Structure 1
């Protein structure tokens, strides 16, 4: 059964790659990125071999505890990250959980995340090659640690399958991912402040944190080699026993919930609530084709978890930058005030991916004779309706937190032109590349749904071109710190460049859509 399930997963992956050359390119880029991370981490683990036992213990225990907790957290928040062998697909077959669990375990590790975890775990052998005892303890810890990562992920998602399958939980999860991203940056900054730039303080914080982590279920097994290296064999045995009991408990729990999943497969609760016509959203825009597109896409911004996740994702950078500078005693008011400009630069990526998020419903645009320019204008209107109020709030908040109200003109001179340029570039770039996105209500992070190379190219080109076109304005604003009136000149020139960019994006992007509606529909319908 193990060989069958592994072969099935590889076959499904091969067939998916055959459908599009972009999937192959995306897979290769993803593997190269993962390989770079693995090489970097393993090199760090090898370097720890020549440090003290205490430092090696603190770093490895803390890092691998975070890795184990990450498997559980991402599996719960990013439910369905690998749905290739979804257990519910076996519900009609006469199989029990205990028959397919070993195969699901091995096939689950046959992927970029599983392979990377195994390779990084093997790097511990280099860190603890300090004698026969630590090496033997590491050899025993690695398979148990990897199994703990996987079983925590599967047992957690199986236990909370009903909640995870609800739309409300998915909405919460996407916001939770953004909050976790913000928290990581903020906590790192706070830790730096507590250390006060002194190595002794940093080591004390690291040792205390690692000590706590080693007594959590996520860190039991990873603290075993450290205990062995210190000669604390009784403590190592206790943690090893606890880790083994944890693996057994997770295996039994996974089997229990998997049996239920095989006999009571869950149906996706995607929610199909009615959208009332004639509401406030529909009255925001004129009764025109572009207004209809704007109203429809604004409904998406309000109701679709994919768009909610997008808003949260765009806010991560500016919020982290502002908060870290505020909590840092040596924070720069200039960075706090200009942090909202980062959001202006990123907004164009939202317009660039909008066609892909429409999915097969986009055929209504092509079949109804909607002009491409009207599609582009409508999406611009709805995006501005969502992000402009957020930008105003962030700008006022940034100026208030920094106390640098005198910077209002340079901030406005950068933000408004930058958002116009970004929207204009994104409006055109969105007609160059499209990809099959997850359907509405589905998990936008599920495997194979990242868009691969087209999504990467769309984001990169939008950001790079927007930055290039905004260079004159940014240069004048920087110069205005010495010659104040140049900020007004930068604002005027920036508004002119931004207006031209938006106009060209609508005209040229619309014309390209008029010529390529069939190709666009084919690109977003590959799923």
Structure 2
């Protein structure tokens, strides 16, 4: 079964690469990046061989514990799990979960993240191979640590996927996970400040304390074994070894149980029957034309589609993290939190660029109804402005009240207007250039590929670059008002609005014309997953 599932994974991977040039390029770039990271890690591990065993343990245990935590957090919040060999597809076959787990575990290691993690884990042997006993302890730790990384991420994502079988639970979980990401970012920033404020002579003691906490956390049980052996703490080494082995067995049993449920109750697409509602307040917000109809539908998606809810929650994270981070600084720095809403304005356009991809095969309704590209672009812009416009106003008022920097509000609003409107204009054009398949609304939100891979990365990069260029004129006036003539800050307001409106108009028109020429190609691109 192990050889069969690994072979199936390789076959599916090869076929997907043949079907899409973007995936081939993305895989090559990911492999090159992972190789660079592995080389850097090995360089550091070799350098640690020339330090004391105490220093080596204090460095490796927290770092490798962070690797395990990273597998869990990144699987849930960012990358998802590679479901190339989806367990739900075995639901109609006479196979049990305990027979699938070894093969699925091996298949999970076939890929860039799995191979890179295994190589990094084996690097532990390089730095600890100072005696035969330490080499064996490091090898055992590498095996148990790698299994913990994979099993922890697989069990967590599989459990969440089963839990999120209803739309309401998916929405709540998406928001909670985004908040967890925010707390992690804020906590890391505050810890970094606390460490930099420490006396350099006290840093070894601080590092030893962090290593001790990491060693007795579930993320560091396996990685602490060679450090315990090196300092002759055989009791701690035995305890960590037993705990790490028990954790691997427990995660394996939990994953088997979750897979058993998926084999009889697969989590497949389909969100249930919808219902037609009468026209209400939402419809009256927009004009009674094709663009208005697109705007109404998109606004409903922002409220009902868990992918949009996740995106909205992630957008709200950046200003919160910036406000909290700056708020922890001096009073002079706190004044500039009035510019925190500009971070939200900076990323709004990236959502519009991928909005068409979220429609999936439903794009055929636009083709059959003869919706013009300009109406599609304008409708999506109207929906985004209806959602983020009031939000931006509220956030600007709150940050001004909290910081007291009312003198900077005109410049901040002008910069936000240029970034938001300009970003939407760039996103309207970029969204017509690049499309990619995304998971359906009823699919697991933790599937790999939900981020779109290289096309999505190129799309976001292009939007952010164009947004930056649109924000340069009001930014220059803002800086001029801060360091030269204060009245230039007031000029940034009308200039930002004007620049944003011009870029928005150009993006809608050009993006609409491009869609009119390539609607069939767009339908094919966003429907690839369904095929």
Using the size of structure 1 for normalisation, the TM-score is 0.93
The CA RMSD over aligned residues, in Å, is 2.4
Counterpart for residue 322 of structure 2: 321
Deviation at 1:193, TM superposition (A): 3.9
Q: Is 1:526 the counterpart of 2:522 in the alignment?
A: no
Counterpart Cα distance in 1 of 2:456 and 2:75: 23
- Residue 451 of structure 1 pairs with residue 420 of structure 2: no
Q: CA 1:210 to 1:376, structure 2 compared with 1: closer, same or farther past 3 Å? A: same
Conservation of the 8 A alpha-carbon contact between 1:130 and 1:229: no
Q: Is the 8 A contact 1:91 1:265 kept in 2?
A: yes
What SS does the aligned partner of 2:433 have?
coil
Conserved? CA contact 1:429–1:461, under 8 Å: yes
Hey, what's the Cα distance between the residues in 1 that align with 2:51 and 2:4? 45
Alpha-carbon offset, residue 283 of structure 1: 1.9
Equivalent runs, 1:95-134 vs 2, <5 Å: 95-134=95-134
Deviations 1:473-503 (Å, cap 9, x if unpaired)? Answer: 2111101122022223333333222222111
Alignment of 1:147-162 (within 5 A): 147-157=147-157, 162=162
Is the 8 Å Cα contact of residues 348 and 419 (structure 1) preserved in structure 2? yes
Q: What SS does the aligned partner of 1:63 have?
A: helix
Q: Which residue of structure 2 lines up, in the alignment, with residue 496 of structure 1?
A: 498
Does structure 2 retain, via aligned residues, the 8 Å contact 1:306–1:441?
no
Take 1:209 and 1:411, find their aligned partners in 2: how far apart are those partners? 40
2:184 pairs with 1:184: yes
Q: Using a 3 Å threshold, how does the CA distance of structure 1 residues 511 and 258 change in structure 2: closer, same or farther?
A: closer
Q: Does 1:219 align with 2:237?
A: no
SS at match of 2:49: helix
TM-score, normalised with respect to structure 2: 0.92
State how far apart, in whole Å, the 2-side matches of 1:115 and 1:375 are.
43
Indicate conservation of the 8 Å contact 2:434/2:455, yes or no.
yes
Structure 2: stretches of 5+ with no match in the other structure: none
- Could you tell me which residue of structure 1 aligns to residue 297 of structure 2? 296
Matches within 5 A, 1:315-394: 315-329=316-330, 332-394=333-395
Ranges in structure 1 where 5+ consecutive residues have no aligned partner: none
Tell me if structure 2 keeps the 8 A contact 1:78–1:446.
no
- The equivalent residue for 2:489 is 487
For residue 432 of structure 2, give the secondary structure of its aligned residue in structure 1: coil
Which stretch shifts more, 186-195 or 375-384? 186-195
- Aligned counterparts of 2:302 and 2:257: Cα–Cα separation in 1: 39
C-alpha distance in 2, partners of 1:119/1:314? 35
Match of 1:418 in 2: 419
Q: CA deviation at 1:6?
A: 0.4
Displacement after TM superposition at 1:275 (Å):
5.0
Query: Structure 1's 282 and 123: CA in aligned 2 closer, same or farther, altered over 3 A?
Result: same
CA distance 1:312–1:34, change in 2 (3 Å): farther
**C-alpha displacement at 1:307, in angstroms?**
0.7
Secondary structure of 1:83 counterpart: coil
Tell me, yes or no, if structure 1 residue 515 matches structure 2 residue 498: no
Name 1:65's counterpart in structure 2: 65
Give the whole-Å Cα distance in 2 for the aligned partners of 1:158 and 1:493. 50
Question: Shift in Å at residue 383 of structure 1?
Answer: 0.4
Q: Contact 1:470–1:494 at 8 Å: present in 2 too?
A: yes
Change (3 A) 1:400 1:59: farther
